[in-house]
Amino acid sequence: MEKFPLKGSREAAAEGNSYITAYQTVMKKSNGHTNGAGGDSDLDGSFRDHPLAQHSKLTTSLTAAGTDDEDMIDITPRSSPGDVIGGGVGGGSSSGYHRETATESDTERDFGHLGGGGGGGGGGGNHHNQRTMHQLHHQHVPTHSAFGDPMDGALSFYGSSDVQDDIPGIGQYEDFHTIDWQRDIARDRMRHRYIVKKRQDSLWDLIKGSIDAGSGWLCVLLVGIAAGCVAGMVDIGASWMSDLKHGICPPAFWFNREQCCYPAKQSVFEEGNCSTWKTWPEIFGLDRNGTGPYIVAYIWYVLWALLFASLSASLVRMFAPYACGSGIPEIKTILSGFIIRGYLGKWTLLIKSVGLMLSVSAGLTLGKEGPMVHIASCIGNIFSHVFPKYGRNEAKKREILSAAAAAGVSVAFGAPIGGVLFSLEEVSYYFPLKTLWRSFFCALIAAFVLRSLTPFGNEHSVLFFVEYNKPWIFFELIPFVFLGIMGGVIGTFFIKANLWWCRYRKFSKLGQYPVMEVLFVTLVTGIICYPNPFTRMNMNELIFLLVSKCSPGDVTNPLCDYKRMNITTGNTIIEVTEPGPGVYSSIWLLMLTFILKLALTIFTFGMKVPAGLFIPSLLLGAIMGRIVGIGVEQFAYSYPNIWFFTGECADSNLITPGLYAVVGAAAVLGGVTRMTVSLVVIMFELTGGVRYIVPLMAAAMASKWVGDALGRQGIYDAHIALNGYPFLDSKEEFAHTTLAADVMQPKRNETLNVITQDSMTVDDVENLLKETEHNGYPVVVSRENQYLVGFVLRRDLNLAIGNAKRLIEGISSSSIVLFTSTQPIQNLGPQPLKLKKILDMAPITVTDQTPMETVVDMFRKLGLRQTLVTHNGRLLGVITKKDVLRHVKQMDNEDPNTVLFN
């Protein structure tokens, strides 16, 4: 990744671009008196209408303002003195070109030649540098900070080591913009090299270096501990409030139903036999059974649900609008390099945690797994700011966020390995090997802390433990694959239906009343779910019921109403089971539950409350799988002498319906999310059924194949596209035969607006910033020849010019803005403003004949914000990430205007 180093690095001085020498030759001949204006494509008017724009918090800060010499003003951030001899800004060619002027100071002239003053990424110094190096060694150059404090000769380079970079602003990113992965990674490498070099100076520097080396492990340790604690509180609170809809424990009202009945060793499902737990009819002096108590319990169930849902929606609307929804689409986008200020903040963490407890307790058809990933990512973002190594570098921060996402799945399911694979497969964009190790450690710590705080409620360390260990027979692969096919169909139907409803909500008046929508859906959910015992039940409890096996003495579970008998097949006596009336009635109730839960999930996912999708998807699949399992079981009962039954296992029941529920759950979840490897690992961690990995793999692959055939995107990618986020999926291929010239902005017949290196005034640049909204602007030698010098960010220009005009006397609107190391020979006007050190002199460029397939790969694999298009060294245009995304959509016959951000 060090192919494109930043300015200030010694490696930058060793590489060169072939057109730099030619450009310097032209610079001698160019008078440079042409104004220009330009930049790259950026946000259009549709950004202002996006809901995220209502919550943006653009930040501004000061940069250093210092003087390089008597006649030129330099606006640069302070950096480490250790980088003084590191070379020029981004490297440059100094092949004998040496411009001596009477007004140019030795220091300024020296830095134009120390291996990098002149160009975009290359060229070492020649014999002229020997004299200038000697002069620099004996010269003290006074510089001043923005507040007038002397820096003791500390010369700085934009993008160099940030060990002492305590002046924010330069190099940071605005809200709803994409980070520059290459620049941030290079900055971290230079910072690391500086720390390694300083270790040899003193014992204190050695200690600081060791602390810095271990800061990543310490950070993920804290994230894991905090994620486990928050998840434990969410589990305890959600369990208590969910049971509060049914009754209360008078001896200790803070106990949920299981804790209240635990001293008597009574089952959770035998609430009628628990004398300690009181239902709401009993609280009001009524019996447990009867029409009157049923109506009272019904009313209290709906009222508590409305109260919890209204509190959740109101908290989200008033205090943290970003706390709504799953959060995984936004986390994927953030991990790909997008900036959403406040989405991972403290208020979002608090409201998401409390709101998640309330929305789950309301009985809505949602889960807490997706929101737990969001909560863990908030924790990771907060702790990353404790360590400057991660807090000041957006690319490094995303390593912590990837580990936090793994911890989120770990605490949601009790599946640490599955959490790591989920982070790798589904949400992370940049996942180096060290991030894999730290993610594993973070998920381990989070799962351990959660297990220490609150067991899952069934004496096992996994959420849906299965107690059967019978081997599956080869014939069962047919129904397993069938479940996978049905999972893909159901998942695709859900995605399309949910997207249709979300679009309708977004562009209708319904979206203006989110709290009313939540209350209406909650009211409907409570009214239609209470009469059915399966829909009334907590979804986790229902899934556990569906995946469990039927023991001979189980009389409380209607799914286990079997008549058991022995039959003879050949010389072997085997036990078979005939379903009773409870099984048949349960099948009809489960079918009704499936329809209701599917419909309710379509309308619930996307509302302005914290809402996950894993548990509803698992429930739908478990219902489907249990019904199919009962059918296969009865097929084996009706035809016991078929060869594939008699030849496999004859000493016990052949078919286990609970296994089909597990496989069906994996199939539907895979159809909705399009996960494969992480899905299988999560499922066997959830159930403890390691020997059933092959059926899970078969169902997961069938589900993904069918889902991809019916619809290309999973639910999270579909919501990313719906919101217009700039997410360039690395798993998809671009196979169209277009060129960079076809996509660049502006087109060939349009005028390219640029900034010239030494002929524009401060007023010209300010007018350019007012008239355009681009992220940055190319800098060229002159408007006539268009030879590229570098690229400067809009934010850096604003900060530098604003600070110079406020803090430095002599800067006026007519001051010349210089992006070179040399000063014009005749300068009779105001003091020039030198901004070379905020210029990226090593921008990544492509030619106009570069295939877009290559350009798209560069954006995906290098994490680019933009690339400049040249022809024979002359600048032609700019391609931004938004241009690439829109082109990809256009070539796929989709609406390119849905991409709102860059």
Unique residue bearing structure tokens 């992965």: 181
Share above pLDDT 70 across residues of the chain, in percent, rounded to a whole number: 75
State the average pLDDT over residues 860-879.
90
Cβ atoms 73, 833 nearer than 8 A: yes
Question: How far apart are the C-alpha atoms of 856 and 821, rounded to whole Å?
Answer: 35
State the alpha helices, DSSP H only, in 199-290: 203-244, 257-261, 280-283
Question: How far apart are the C-alpha atoms of 380 and 226, rounded to whole Å?
Answer: 9
- The pair of three-digit structure tokens given for residue 885, joined into one six-digit string: 């995304």
φ/ψ region of 115 (left if φ > 0, alpha if ψ in -120 to 50, else beta) reads: left
Pick the closest to residue 331 from 427, 231, 420, 226 (CA basis).
Answer: 427
Unique residue bearing structure tokens 């390089």: 68
CATH of the domain spanning 474-723, picked from 1.10.357.10, 1.10.3080.10, 2.60.40.2310, 3.40.50.970: 1.10.3080.10
User: Best-predicted range by mean pLDDT among 39-43, 484-488, 639-643, 826-830?
Assistant: 484-488
Question: How far apart are the C-alpha atoms of 337 and 798, rounded to whole Å?
Answer: 23
Pick the closest to residue 326 from 669, 715, 598 (CA basis).
Answer: 715
What lies within 8 Å, CB to CB, of 588 at 6+ separation is none
Angle between helices 291-319 and 203-244 (to 10 degrees): 150
Q: pLDDT tens digits, residue range 848-865? A: 999 999 999 999 888 888
The neighbouring-strand residues paired with 879 are 867
User: Best-predicted range by mean pLDDT among 73-82, 198-207, 343-352?
Assistant: 343-352
The neighbouring-strand residues paired with 70 are none
3 state DSSP class of 880: strand
Q: Is the pLDDT of residue 510 over 60?
A: yes
Helix-strand-coil percent breakdown of the chain, rounded to 5? 55, 10, 40
Q: pLDDT tens digits, residue range 696-713? A: 999 999 999 999 999 888
On the CB side of 237, CA atoms within 13 Å amount to: 17
On the CB side of 220, CA atoms within 13 Å amount to: 28
- What are the structural domain ranges in the chain? 474-723
The neighbouring-strand residues paired with 792 are 777
The neighbouring-strand residues paired with 816 are 761
Q: Residue 584 carries which side chain, given as an amino acid letter? A: Y
Unique residue bearing structure tokens 């969410």: 234
Phi, psi of 285 (to 5 degrees): 85, 15
- The pair of three-digit structure tokens given for residue 316, joined into one six-digit string: 């989200």
Residue 368: alpha-carbon gap to chain centroid:
17
Question: How far apart are the C-alpha atoms of 574 and 572, rounded to whole Å?
Answer: 6
Beta strand 65-67 pairing with 73-75? antiparallel
Indicate the average pLDDT of the chain: 77
Give the single-character DSSP code of 787: B
User: Best-predicted range by mean pLDDT among 279-288, 563-572, 706-715, 770-779?
Assistant: 706-715
Beta strand 247-248 pairing with 65-67? unpaired
What lies within 8 Å, CB to CB, of 77 at 6+ separation is 63, 64, 156, 158, 165, 167, 169, 170, 171
Give the single-character DSSP code of 245: T
Burial class (CB in 10 A: 0-12, 13-18, 19+), 734: buried
Q: Is the pLDDT of residue 813 over 50?
A: yes
What pTM was estimated for this model as a whole? 0.78
Question: How far apart are the C-alpha atoms of 367 and 681, rounded to whole Å?
Answer: 19
Question: How far apart are the C-alpha atoms of 616 and 668, rounded to whole Å?
Answer: 10
State the average pLDDT over residues 301-326.
94
Per-residue confidence (pLDDT) for residue 828, from 0 to 100 = 67
Q: Is the peptide bond before 616 cis (omega within 30 degrees of 0)?
A: no
Q: pLDDT tens digits, residue range 23-77? A: 333 343 333 333 333 334 443 444 444 444 444 433 333 333 333 444 444 444 4
Strand order in the sheet with 65-67: 65-67, 73-75, 833-834, 816-818, 760-761
Q: pLDDT tens digits, residue range 192-230? A: 999 999 888 889 989 988 998 999 999 999 999 999 999
